[in-house]
Amino acid sequence: MWRRLIGGIAVLGLVGAAAYASFYVAPEERTMGLVQRIFYLHAACGLTMFTAFFICFCSNITYVFRRSAAADALAVSAAEVGLVFSTVNLVTGPIWAHPAWGIWWTWDARLTSAFVLWLLYIAYLLLRTLVEEPERRALLSALFGIFAFLDVPLVYGSIRWWRTQHPQPVLMGGPGSGLEPTMLKVFFFSILAMHALMALLLIDRFGLEKMRGEADIVRRELEAA
Amino acid sequence: MGVLSNTAALLGKELRTEFRSRELLTTTIVFILIVLVLFSFTFDPTVGESRRFGPGLLWLAFLFAASLMLQPCFLRELNNDTLSALRLSVSDPFAIFLAKLGANTLFLLLTELLLLPIFAILYNIPVAAVFAKLVMVFFLGSLGVSTAGTALSAISAQARMRELMLPLLLLPLLTPVLVASTEVTIGLLDRQPFVQWKGVGFLAVFDVVFLTALWIFGEYLLEE
Amino acid sequence: MTPGAVCPTGIRFDDIEKRYGGLYALRRVSLEIAAGECVVLAGRNGSGKTTLLRIAAQLVRPSAGKVSFPGARGAGTNGADGGVRGATAYVAHATMVYDELTAEENLILFARLLGVAAPRERVDALLTEVGLAERRDSLVRTFSRGMRQRMAIARALLREPLVLLLDEPATGLDVQGTAWLAAVLRRMRDSGCTMVMSLHGETEISSLATRAIRLDAGSVVADTRRGASFRSILTFVDA
């Protein structure tokens, strides 16, 4: 209990520090001004989302070959947490894009891929609600999760090659390219903070899922008796 | 008794069943036709715009049709539990998938080719000159759609609300196929037709990735 | 039909468990069925009979434990050449044949999948054996329940199984049908095929058995090998 409290405070501290840094430590960007600062949140969420989905992918593979309930619990937790960061990523995109370039949505490779990814993981969670029996649900969603993740590079590739907006809005190039040193440090710090938040949410959600699983087992045993 | 002979036997069964009733083919063709006509009402198809938008709408129609056509794929095997009979009889479960995705690719390709002339007329786009190359891209795209679709059909057959579930799972997954196929088709239907080999290669990669995934995970898709 | 002559095959269940969420369909079932034994599985609905048979057919993967086939040609439980898989036949409630194909088309399909030599001749012989020869070109959809059951048996006998698993095979059969089935199963038993069938009550078919086992709530509660009587197992008297 104390561990969770301390962990929570630490993570909140990190996130707060990252927010502070992105507003006060990072220098103001030349062309876009204040709104550019949302980039630190946006990009960090994007990367964190990807980490979460990767964890989901690994858990899915583990489940298919090992059938451990823990792997399934981790998979759904990672998918949900990833979806949260994905949503923040998608929402901060237009918030940044509109003041910066006058358009709400940019058909940028990363953003569009993120959108398709968001749809895929919504589908993943929806699939889970539509399969009653726990082991069936775990297996089917794991298999879909694997196919979905294998699709990710293909989605990204196809959109980057053929659907990326021209002229390409300069999204800081790639992470780290052409970023001024202080900006870079703030950027990495934001990534760290977001990952810490992800870890916290993941651990919590994982614990919750395991408890739900156990409660479900007891409920089914009672119903059968 | 190997995978290939099993696949051939099962493919024969799939084709025989479908050509006997022709239910899937007729409903799919009519559906695509309706979609194409409806699409044409949503914009004024001057020839220039048709060449730019037409291929995308065509592929979108194919994808929608496929997500409906692929639903019975495994659902009908639940009838009389013939899926168990297949699992007991084949030497490698991958043969079941190969046969089904082969049949689905064929059916999709057939409907696409039957509708191509109608598309050409409705949208005023000449296709005769590049017909063979169109067949190639239709084939590669349909193969991708069928591979992913057959796999996901096995999943959705075991979920509730399965009719809605398959399009929901399949359509986002097929975005790369939609994009790449549309691009290659646009290239082929251009006033100066050209083959976008990047797109063709991309479609081939998609097909290989999902065929491989199906090969590795297929047996788990069929588990009870 | 002389199955089992080459490689008499038994079935062995080692600590089999099958869970569906919190429900146990089977709890730590360990059984050794000798080659050539003809076993009746009795028990109420929901006692785990179907699950046990489907695990033996390798259609269902147990949550724990394993099933093996001592004496079988081919490695352990999953012969790489389909060894055991092809030699195990399963007849269930569902007919497991295609309604949209004819009787002959169905059997030829499965014969080809199983790698039966000279499929056409074998299918011809089987159709005659099960009394469906005149209806070979009719769609299975048009068949009566009894005829469908004959189709199911024919499909099971395609590759001269060494192990025959039957889940309430007489369901829906009339008196004649049951007598015919009993005759077929007697022949299989006498040629050394290992058989496990789940049945309700004492019938012409249960009298073929050399051993009876009763399941209740997923566990073995009585076994003639361990002294229980046939009658008590089959008629659900708590001994």
Boundaries of domain holding A10: 2-26+37-224
CB pairs under 8 A between A and C: 21
Strand partners, C19: C24
Between C82 and C118, residue with greater pLDDT: C118
Strand partners, C89: C164
C119-140 pLDDT per residue, tens: 999 999 999 999 899 999 999 9
Annotate B73-112 with b (16+ C-beta within 10 A) or e (fewer): bbbbbeebbbbbbbbbbbbbbbbbbbbbbbbbbbbbbebb
Q: Locate the domains of chain C by residue range.
A: 11-97+161-234
Among chain C residues, CA nearest to B89: C114
Q: Is A138 on the interface with B (CB under 8 A)?
A: no
Decide if A32 is inside a domain. Answer: no
C137-159 pLDDT per residue, tens: 999 999 998 899 899 999 999 98
Amino acid occupying residue B169: L
Chain C CB contacts of B9 under 8 Å are 109, 112-113
Lowest-pLDDT choice from A91-100, A160-169, B94-103 = A160-169
Decide if A31 is inside a domain. Answer: no
The answer on pLDDT for C234 being more than 90 is no
Decide if A135 is inside a domain. Answer: yes
Lowest-pLDDT choice from B47-51, C29-33, C220-224 = B47-51
Task: Output the DSSP codes for chain C.
Answer: --TTSS----EEEEEEEEEETTEEEEEEEEEEE-TT-EEEEE--TTSSHHHHHHHHTTSS--SEEEEE-TT-SSSTTS-TTSHHHHHEEEE-SS--S-TTSBHHHHHHHHHHHHT-SSHHHHHHHHHHHTT-GGGTTSBGGG--HHHHHHHHHHHHHTT--SEEEEESTTTT--HHHHHHHHHHHHHHHHTT-EEEEE-SSS-TTGGG-SEEEEEETTEEEEEGGGT--HHHHHTT---
Residue B187: phi and psi, rounded to 5, are -60, -40
Which of residues 51 through 90 in chain C touch A, CB cutoff 8 A? Answer: 63
Optimal mutation site among A217, A218, A222, interface C, most CBs of chain C within 10 A: A217
CB B218 within 8 A of CB B93: yes
Rounded to an integer, what distance in angstroms lies between the CA atom of residue C50 and that of residue C72?
23
The answer on pLDDT for C73 being more than 70 is no
Q: Which token pair is C231?
A: 């009658």
B179-211 pLDDT per residue, tens: 999 999 999 998 889 999 999 999 999 999 999
Chain B CB contacts of A160 under 8 Å are none
Decide if A214 is inside a domain. Answer: yes
Which of residues 128 through 157 in chain B touch C, CB cutoff 8 A? Answer: none
Optimal mutation site among A60, A64, A144, interface B, most CBs of chain B within 10 A: A144
Q: Is B127 on the interface with A (CB under 8 A)?
A: no
Decide if A97 is inside a domain. Answer: yes
Residue C1 confidence (pLDDT) = 42
Residue A41 confidence (pLDDT) = 87
Domain total in chain A: 1
What is the mean predicted confidence (pLDDT) over A194-198?
93
The answer on pLDDT for A56 being more than 50 is yes
Decide if A57 is inside a domain. Answer: yes
Q: Which token pair is A157?
A: 């590739």
Residue C232 confidence (pLDDT) = 82
| Residue C84 binned pLDDT confidence (cut-offs 50, 70, 90) | low
Rounded to an integer, what distance in angstroms lies between the CA atom of residue A93 and that of residue A108?
10
The answer on pLDDT for C78 being more than 60 is no
Q: Give domain C11-97+161-234's CATH architecture.
A: 3-Layer(aba) Sandwich (3.40)
Residue C211: phi and psi, rounded to 5, are -155, 145
What phi-psi label fits residue C65: left (phi over 0), alpha (psi between -120 and 50 degrees) or beta? left
Judged on CB neighbours under 10 Å (0-12, 13-18, 19+), C101 is: buried
Rounded to an integer, what distance in angstroms lies between the CA atom of residue B105 and that of residue B214?
15
Which residue in C24, C189, C74, C115 sits closest to B3, CA to CA? C115
Rounded to an integer, what distance in angstroms lies between the CA atom of residue A50 and that of residue C166?
50
Domain total in chain B: 1
Regarding an ipTM greater than 0.90, the answer is: yes
